[in-house]
Amino acid sequence: MPTALRSPAALGAPAGLDDILRTPSAPVAPPLPVRARGALRFITCGSVDDGKSTLIGRLLHEAQGVLDDQLAAITRESRRFGTTGEDVDLALLLDGLEAEREQGITIDVAYRFFSTGRRAFVVADTPGHEQYTRNMATGASTSELAVLLVDARKGLLEQTRRHAAIVSLLGIRNVVLAVNKMDLVGWSQARFDELVAAFGAFAGPLDFRSVTTIPLSARFGDNVVEASPNTPWHVGPTLLEHLEAVEIADDSAAPFRFPVQWVSRPHADFRGAAGTVASGRVAVGDAVVVAASGRTTKIARIVTMDADVEVASAGDAVTLTFADEIDIGRGDVLAAPRARPTVTRRFAADLVWMTDEEVEAGRRFLMKVGTATLPATVTRIADRLDLAWLGRVPADRLALNAIGRVHVETAVPVSIDPYGENRATGGFILIDRATHATSAAGLVIAGLDGARDVHAQAGAVDPAVRAWVKTQQPLAVWLTGLPGSGKSTIAALAERRLVALGHHTMLLDGDNVRQGLNADLGFDAASRAENVRRVGEVAKLMTDAGLIVLVALVSPFRADRERAAGLFPAGRFMEVLVDASPETCRARDPKGLYAKAESGRIVNFTGRDQAYEPPTAPALVLATDEIGPEIAAERLVQAILERIRTQPASALAAQL
C-alpha cells in the first residue's frame, strides 16, 4: 500500500540543449521490463500555484495509489479547503499541514511512495514560494529527475528559473518540462511551443542531459496517465509513461566512498567502522585507504545485522573490519586507493543561501559533510548567479535564496569530491554556530590548493610512537599579544626551563620565521593570515615529531588563531594571552617599532593601524603589566607541565 512520508532529508562536455530537448513529435522509446529499472526518486518543482501538489495527487489517484478512506477524507476536506469548486481537490493528498490547507500552498516537503506494474516511485512535492526555497533544495538533493511545472498562462517566472538552476546545481540531469493548466489557454499548441522555446533559450547553460516536454492539465488528468484527446498534436508520452520508461545514469560505477559513522567495539575482540556505503562498492579482500591519513589496509569482514556478506554497494549499511589495526574515527572517509577523494582545507563551492541575514566574507560556520562536522569559514564571495540570464555577476555578499560561488576554508583537512563527480561526498551544509540553524546548502566545485591529486603518504612511525620515544606529551603553546607585551622573552625563558627539566622543545618566534620561511610576506591582513597559517602548519609537524612547541606570534586576528588551533587534536593546543596595555607596550618599545609606526615609517602596525582581537577563552593569561617575565615564564611552565601530565608516557605506550 502507498505510504505517506515526511522527512527533513539532508543534503548529498554536455550535449547542447537542442540535442536533448524532446520535441512533441519525437518518437517515444518502448517501455522496458520493470526488472531493468530501479525505483525512481523524482521531485516536482516550479513557482507557486503552478499545480505541483495537484499533479502528484492526480498521479497517485490514477495509479491506484489512494486508499478509499483517504479519498473519502479529502472529499470531505475539499468542501472546507478545496480550490476546485465541486471537484475533489487532489492537492490535499500532499498538503498535510493545517497551514498548507488553509492557505492552499505547500510549505513542507511531502514525500509519497507509489508503484505501477513497471516501476516504483518516491516523489517529493516541494513548495513554490520563494521563502521556502530551502525546502525545495532539500527535496532535490536526493532526487534523480525533476518535473518542472509551468503555468501555461503565466509562463517562466523568476522562481521557475531559480528552481531550474537549483535542480541543475544539485546534479539532476533529467528534466520534464510539464506545461500545466493547458485547459485554461484553450489547449493552444502555439502557446505550448512558445513556452518550450522560452525554456530552451533559458536553460542552455544548465547542463541537462534530457528535457522532455509534456502539455497537461493536472486538475483533469490530461496527459498525466492517459493520452488526452485535447492535444492531438502531442505525440509524445504521457507523464507516467515517461516516468516508467526513463533511464537514469547508473551511479554504481562511482568510486568507493564510505564515511565512517562511528567505531563499533562491543567487546575486546571486535572493532569495526560502521556507516553506509555512500557510493561505489567494496568486497572482502579489497584494499582501502583512510583518505585523510593515507593509511591503507584490506577489508577483512563486511558485517550486517543478519550475517556477514562478501560485497557491499551504495546504500548498504554495514560495519567494516580490517586486516590491520588502523587509526580511524567518525568523519573519516574510506576510499579506493587508486580513486581517492581530494583532501584539502580550501575549496570553491556553490552556495544556496537560506537565511534572511546576508553572508559576507569572513563569516564562520559549522560545516557538515558526510558524517564529519567541523568549523569552516567563508573566506571569499566570488560572484552571484543572475537568474534572469544565468550569468555570474560580481558580489561581496549573498542574500536570502541567492546562489553564489564562494571560497571555503575548514579548520582541518576534509575529504571531498566535486559535486558533479560524486554527490555523496560533494554536498555539504553550513550551520549557524549560534542558532544551529541550517544557513546554506553547498556544492563542492574544486579544491583551491592545487593538491587534488596529492594525497597523504602514511609513514612507518606515527606521532604516538615519536612521543613515546621522547617520553613526553607533545603540545603546541601559542603565545599571542600586542607587540612589546613580552611574548618572545617569556617563551625563551620557558623553553630554557623545560629543556632543563629534560623535555624536547622548539621555539617558533614571529621575527625569526619572517627571516626565512615567511620572508615573502607583508603585514596586511591577508599576509598576516598566511603568516599564521604557515606557522601553524610547521607547529603541527613539530608536534607530530613529539616536541613541545612554543609559538610567540602577535597573530592579531582571532579567526586566524582558531584555524591554527583546529589543526591539532583535542588537548594538544594551548592558547596563552600575554596581556599588557597599549600604553605599557609603547613605553617598553623594545625594538623601536612603536616609534617608527608613530612617525609613519611602519604601516599596518598592530595596536595602531590594525586592531588586536584578544582570545575569548585563553588557557592562561599572563598579565605582564603586573608581573615580570621570570614569574610569567614560571607560570607558563607550570601550566604546560600540568597539561602534558594529563596523558603520561604510559598512556602513550598503550596506544602502540
Q: Is 46 known as a binding-site position?
A: yes
Q: Is 596 known as a binding-site position?
A: no
Nearest CA to 221 out of 422, 448, 57 is that of 57
3 state DSSP class of 272: strand
Q: Is 486 known as a binding-site position?
A: yes
Q: Is 139 known as a binding-site position?
A: no
- Containing 406, the helix (H) or strand (E) segment is strand 403-416
In the set 141, 168, 439, 555, the catalytic residue is 555
- CA-based Rg of the chain, rounded to a whole angstrom? 30
Q: Is 135 known as a binding-site position?
A: no
Q: Is 313 known as a binding-site position?
A: no
Rounded to an integer, what distance in angstroms lies between the CA atom of residue 342 and that of residue 333? 11
Residue 307 amino acid letter = A
Does residue 535 contact residue 513 with C-beta atoms inside 8 Å? yes
Rounded to an integer, what distance in angstroms lies between the CA atom of residue 531 and that of residue 556? 11
158-169 vs 133-140: helix axis angle to the nearest 10?
Answer: 40
Q: Is 470 known as a binding-site position?
A: no
Q: Is 250 known as a binding-site position?
A: no
Q: Is 579 known as a binding-site position?
A: no
Alpha helices in 289-444 (DSSP H): 423-426
Q: Is 406 known as a binding-site position?
A: no
Asked about 115 being catalytic, the answer comes back as: no
Residue 264 phi/psi, 5-degree rounding, is -90, 125
43: left (phi over 0), alpha (psi -120 to 50) or beta: beta
CB atoms within 10 A of CB 627: 15
Q: Is 426 known as a binding-site position?
A: no
Q: Is 522 known as a binding-site position?
A: no
Residue 238 amino acid letter = T
Q: Is 85 known as a binding-site position?
A: no
Nearest CA to 426 out of 454, 453, 450, 447 is that of 447
Q: Is 200 known as a binding-site position?
A: no
CB atoms within 10 A of CB 211: 20
Q: Is 267 known as a binding-site position?
A: no
β 145-151/174-180 pair status: parallel
| HSE of 189, CA atoms in CB hemisphere, 13 A | 9
Q: Is 48 known as a binding-site position?
A: yes
State in Å, rounded, how far the first CA of the chain is from the last one. 55
CA angle, 628 then 630 then 635, to 5°? 95
CA angle, 464 then 468 then 470, to 5°? 120
Return the DSSP state at 256: P
Q: Is 182 known as a binding-site position?
A: yes
Rounded to an integer, what distance in angstroms lies between the CA atom of residue 627 and that of residue 453? 52
Does residue 31 contact residue 241 with C-beta atoms inside 8 Å? yes
Q: Which residue has the cell 479529502?
A: 74
Q: Is 505 known as a binding-site position?
A: no
Rounded to an integer, what distance in angstroms lies between the CA atom of residue 647 and that of residue 649? 7
Q: Is 154 known as a binding-site position?
A: no
Q: Is 331 known as a binding-site position?
A: no
Residues with a catalytic annotation lie at 555
Binding-site members for ATP are 481-488
Binding-site members for GTP are 46-53, 125-129, 180-183
Binding-site members are 46-53, 125-129, 180-183, 481-488
